[in-house]
Amino acid sequence: MNHIVYPLDAMHPISDVKKDSLPQLLEAIDTPVLIEFWAPWCAPCRQMNPIIYALAEDLRGHVRVLKVNIEENKKTTQAYKIKSIPTLFILDAQGNPIGAPLIGMSKTLSEEVVARLAPHVDKKVIPPFYQPLDSLPQVS
């Protein structure tokens, strides 16, 4: 599956970072940000694409998702010290990292991302299937 990327606007849930423009994009964003470092030849990156797209759709308007192609953004890749892909960085609305980078693919990737973002977004925007079972209302 190809990566689906769009310009930075509210109509599209995922934006493609071009020409090492990540610092400028981050200055223009006032929500938490999920940044994926990837490459077109990376099989795990392609496997992760549907997960990232689903997160972007589910959290649209509350979290920005940026994709950084390491081949087109060499300075940014070096600045973030990317050694392996896929690598995810999660930043709060002020641009501060939320936890360590997530490197590689895992079965619980979406839950890990949502768990880190949850304290930084309105709880109502997080779909119930992302929430731990003990946080859901109990049925009697």
Instruction: Give the active site residues.
Output: 42, 45
CA of 26: how far to CAs of 22, 99, 127, in Å? 6, 18, 25
Helix, strand, or coil here: 14? strand
Q: What is the DSSP letter of 97?
A: B
Q: What is the DSSP letter of 109?
A: H
Segment holding 65, helix H or strand E: strand 64-69
**Could you give the CA distance from residue 95 to residue 100 in angstroms, rounded to a whole number?**
14
